[in-house]
Amino acid sequence: GGLIVAYGELLIDFVPTVAGVSLAEAPAFKKAPGGAPANVAVCVSRLGGNAAFIGKVGDDEFGHMLADVLMSNKVDVEGLRFDSNARTALAFVTLRSDGEREFMFFRNPSADMLMVPSELDEDLIRRSSTFHYGSISLISEPSRSTQCAAMKLARESGSLMSYDVNLRLALWPSPEAAHEGIMSIWDQADLIKVSDEEVKFLTKGGNDKLDEVVLSLWRPNLKLLLVTDGPDGCRYYTRGFKGRVMSFKVDAVDTTGAGDAFVGGLLHILAKNKGLLDDEIALRSALQFACACGAITTTGKGAIPSMPDRKAVLKLIGVTTI
């Protein structure tokens, strides 16, 4: 398969050592590698694919620790930069007992926010067959212009453009700015993945006529729109067909990274066969593979430690080859 380049944030998540507490109640925190695009790159690599990461961390112990994590997962870090004037981004994250995630970010500003266009590994971007990105780097300058420059280069090089929205409302100056920023690059994607909650935010709509709401996010150039929905798997929309693929029943302990594993699984299969975007049977089997990746990731704590390998996915799906 071709090279999958994931672009964006790479940071340290501090997660409470006990479950179901608020950040204030947490007695202690354990550090975990985080950042949605980095999780996607690790997932692709675990599955046996070819993945690279582009972004910036601080030239500090945490930044180098994150680089080591990517390298030990065989993710190409040629495009990773180290900033000697800004720290690696930190986030304290907890899943409270009421099921809500609580975040506290330390980015004032962090290294990832300060990436400039001259730091882009243009050759790596040109070599990508898939370019995957989110919306966190769009929040402020100069990282916004840098992401736009990287996307332009990837598009001109013929990469498949993959967008996982990843709404983090608290990081944007206002909900309006978040809406505008996220939608500002909507037209450039071949493939967009949103969660159920993100659809609600982006369309300001209820859930009653979901298909109509989702179709307001459709664009003529889009090849695939995916809405993920936890254990209920995902809905898919293409020019020619739409439907749902259910996920697999597992004992979920921590859903962190499920969406990223889902994307990683899909991009991995797509890298081998882009034609499946026009073939519903093939697409459904790729989405089944993606759902299995998401499901497996929920069975262990943290995102990167519980990313699946190919064997685990095939076992859950119940086939020996795909």
Q: How many other CB atoms are found less than 10 A from the CB of residue 117?
A: 14
Residue 30's SS3 state is: strand
Smaller CB separation from ligand ATP, 47 or 111: 47
Query: Closest approach of Cβ 169 to ligand ATP, in Å?
Result: 13
Query: Closest approach of Cβ 281 to ligand ATP, in Å?
Result: 19
Smaller CB separation from ligand ATP, 112 or 198: 198
Rounded to whole angstroms, how far apart are CA atoms 120 and 285?
Answer: 35
φ, ψ of residue 88 in degrees (nearest 5): -60, 135
Query: Closest approach of Cβ 246 to ligand ATP, in Å?
Result: 8
Secondary structure percentages of the chain, helix, strand, coil, to 5: 40, 20, 35
Residue 293's SS3 state is: helix
Rounded to whole angstroms, how far apart are CA atoms 172 and 182?
Answer: 10
Query: Closest approach of Cβ 161 to ligand ATP, in Å?
Result: 18
Smaller CB separation from ligand ATP, 125 or 316: 316
Q: Is the peptide bond before 33 cis (omega within 30 degrees of 0)?
A: no
Q: Is the peptide bond before 109 cis (omega within 30 degrees of 0)?
A: yes
φ, ψ of residue 132 in degrees (nearest 5): -115, 135
Rounded to whole angstroms, how far apart are CA atoms 13 and 284?
Answer: 33
Residue 83 annotated to the active site: no
Binding site for ligand ATP (CB under 6 A): 195, 228-231, 233-234, 247-248, 250, 252, 255, 257-260, 262, 291, 294-295, 298
Which of these is catalytic: 187, 190, 260, 309?
260
Rounded to whole angstroms, how far apart are CA atoms 2 and 148?
Answer: 22
Query: Closest approach of Cβ 235 to ligand ATP, in Å?
Result: 9
Smaller CB separation from ligand ATP, 55 or 294: 294
DSSP label of 96: B
Catalytic residues: 260
